[in-house]
Structure 1
């Protein structure tokens, strides 16, 4: 028995036939759709490497069944940059050495993007650390990650102010 679902992934509508209702969103993205930027870390929702945005909210895709997100709008790390132009958050991660091995970086960036869009980043490093606490970095690049989120938050807030003026 097949289970048809429709997802908008990085702005592109995808009609998908699932042959198993137990397929996670993470496995669908990585194995069926070849969107391998989303990483499989712990596969238990504890590390944040699989973070994606679903309808603008951060989720651990390893814990989400694909079938339960029929009709959803997903953003993965592959959809953050615009062509060759990095998103300000991606550029800030580079500028502040917010990565070392890079394995956790896609999940960190997606979580930070969600944190900023939720209006939860603010300008307090402790608030950012708390908001990002579900994303682990084995290399310990937390100071650079925090600085990158704070810088991107300022840049994005300034660009939003300019657009509304």
Structure 2
């Protein structure tokens, strides 16, 4: 048994040590807001916050997590910055198909928690998740709207 800390709660899980965090979240804990996209940490659909850092969960083995604090989209509005990001996403009408949005929101929240007033360059550097619908301009606008 392994204990992981997700969204402020401790969970005892029985999985293989090399199981990716993504599958623990989705299949073991039933937190399906974190999406599977590519499986090779390129698209960002699986982004969660691991100790405040945007992390692609499809390539993080559960054995490497230790006591880290994991935050998923299911708890994003419990965070003041996350709540503001979601409001900006709605105001800017960012989502189209929506598949990448949970990862995008997690990446934006992590950025704004570390840098409350990012430059356009900072936003471009941090927001590397793929959006098949091409809403990158709206994503950047929502991040700017949320910035202090």
TM-score, length of structure 1 as denominator length: 0.83
Report Cα offsets for 1:102-137 as digits up to 9, x if no partner.
Answer: 000000000011111122x6342232122212x000
Deviations 1:32-91 (A, max 9, x none): 111000000001000000000011111100010012112221000001114xxx811001
2:66 alignment partner, one of 60, 63, 70: 70
Structure index of larger Rg:
1
CA contact (8 A) 1:97 1:145 kept: no
Aligned equivalent of 2:2: 5
Contact kept in structure 1, 2:112 and 2:118, CA below 8 Å: no
> What CA distance in whole angstroms lies between the structure 2 residues aligned with 1:48 and 1:81?
20
- Equivalent pairs, count: 145
Please provide the CA RMSD for this pair: 1.4
Distance 2:107 2:47 in 1: 6
TM, length-normalised to structure 2: 0.92
SS at match of 1:148: helix
Quote the residue 1:122 is aligned against.
117
Matching residue of 1:137: 131
Partner of 2:30: 34
Superposition pairs of residues 42-121 of structure 1, within 5 angstroms: 42-82=38-78, 87-119=83-115
| Equivalent residue, structure 1, for 2:144 | 150
Segments of 5+ residues of structure 2 without an aligned counterpart are none
Q: Is the CA contact 1:5–1:71 (under 8 Å) kept in the aligned structure 2? A: no
What residue is the counterpart of 1:157 in the other structure?
Answer: none
Q: Structure 1 pair 55/123, CA: closer, same or farther in 2 (3 Å)?
A: closer
